[in-house]
Amino acid sequence: MENLQSILQSDTPVLIDCFAVWCGPCKMMPPILKEVKDKFGDKLRIIKIDIDKNQQLAAQWQISSVPTMLLFKNGKLAWRQSGVVPAHQLIPVLTPLL
């Protein structure tokens, strides 16, 4: 299995969905992320990270609310947004960043 650091350093931008099992709004994200994945295909990799199981990462990225999405491009944070963002709003934001 690839480690997270190598995934973030890859040429393919990575959208990380930071979530928690107990988070109600987080349950709205899977269909949104599927729509985003269908739109961008191989141009974007999407990863879900449970902040309760990855508390060190959550602290490192200063995740204070979920869901929070982080877009990494060439290992650098390019975009960040907390809260549920509908696909029709998320796709235009991500397009110029890919």
Burial-class residue 64 by CB neighbours within 10 Å (0-12, 13-18, 19+).
exposed
Residues 6+ apart with CB under 8 A from 25: 66, 67, 83, 84
User: What gap in Å lies between CA 78 and CA 38, rounded to an integer?
Assistant: 21
Placement of tokens 């599927």 in the chain: 34
Cα–Cα distance measured from residue 67 to residue 82, given in angstroms and rounded to the nearest whole number: 6
Active site residue 26: yes
Catalytic-role residue among 26, 63, 69, 71: 26
Q: Which of 4, 20, 23, 57 is catalytic?
A: 23
Active site residue 18: no
Q: Which residues are catalytic?
A: 23, 26
